Structure 1
Amino acid sequence: MRMLISVLSLALLAGCVSPAMDTARSKSPTRVLASAKPTPLVAECIKFSWQDESVFGVDASAYVNTDKSGQQTVYTRGAESFADLLPQGTGTAVSYYAKQPDDAAAMRRLAMLATCL
């Protein structure tokens, strides 16, 4: 039962943040980065680093979504910050978006993301 509730909650959360992400994607990213590492490895690293409660406190949330083309998105609750990861050869292209790019939390998330490249 708990598993069902978790799955439904995640599905609802993904449905709520998608319009916010689409709006952000209509503008240029806060930062564009690249990594020589494979996309799944970079995505898991970002997700793990964004879940660090010692850095982000109670707002330490991160989720990964993979679409059919292989693009992965790591995002926070409410899509305050998210990163689109696209495979490029053997590496990964990363587009980082933040609702408020000068916000301290958004800058910390960008710094944590950079450690995964």
Structure 2
Amino acid sequence: MFKMVIGALVLAALAGCAGSKMKEARAGSPYKTLASDKATLVVAQCIQFGWQDERVFGVDAGGFKEATEAGGYTVYTTAGDYFVDIQSTGAGSTVKYYAVEDNMPAKRRLAALATCL
């Protein structure tokens, strides 16, 4: 029981850090804005699954999906260094990808999400 409580507290702390980092990133411009003909949920699930691939991302593999108040989804990594906001646009979706810096991990995440469009 104690381990479960500690685990929940650690996850809550990480979510708080990731949330503030994501809020700060949204105040600026996305790393890349993309469009898809697919529904938001389909795109979000695909990105989440792709980002969880340990063969590609190793120990950094992680993808979490949350519904947004605006009716879309956010898919993000554990620390929130990489995330996408997916919003409905007509019959398709707009995908805004945010990355902490322009480096190889950012490019790998972008390549993985591009296969979902």
Distance in 2 (CA, whole Å) between partners of 1:110 and 1:65 is: 19
AA in 2 matched with 1:37: K
For the Cα contact (< 8 Å) 2:86–2:93, is it kept in 1?
yes
Distance in 2 (CA, whole Å) between partners of 1:66 and 1:14 is: 15
The TM-score normalised by the length of structure 2 is 0.89
AA in 2 matched with 1:112: A
Deviations 1:85-106 (CA, angstroms, capped at 9, x unpaired) = 00111110000000012x1111
Structure 1: gaps of 5 or more residues: none
SS at match of 2:101: coil
AA in 1 matched with 2:27: S
Shift of 1:4: 7.4
AA in 2 matched with 1:63: F
Q: Is residue 2:76 matched to residue 1:100?
A: no
Shift of 1:9: 5.2
Distance 1:40 1:5, change over 3 A: farther
Q: Is residue 2:84 matched to residue 1:83?
A: yes
User: 2:67 — aligned with what?
Assistant: 66
Deviations 1:11-52 (CA, angstroms, capped at 9, x unpaired) = 443222111001111111000000000000000000000000
Of all paired residues, the percent bearing the same amino acid is 50
Aligned residues: 116
Distance in 1 (CA, whole Å) between partners of 2:46 and 2:31 is: 20
Deviations 1:55-113 (CA, angstroms, capped at 9, x unpaired) = 00011011011122212100001111000000111110000000012x11110000000
AA in 2 matched with 1:33: L
Distance in 1 (CA, whole Å) between partners of 2:9 and 2:83 is: 21
User: 2:112 — aligned with what?
Assistant: 112
Q: How does 1:49-60 map to 2 (within 5 A)?
A: 49-60=50-61
Distance in 1 (CA, whole Å) between partners of 2:5 and 2:49 is: 23
Structure 2: gaps of 5 or more residues: none
SS at match of 1:37: coil
The TM-score normalised by the length of structure 1 is 0.89
For the Cα contact (< 8 Å) 2:18–2:81, is it kept in 1?
no
AA in 2 matched with 1:66: A
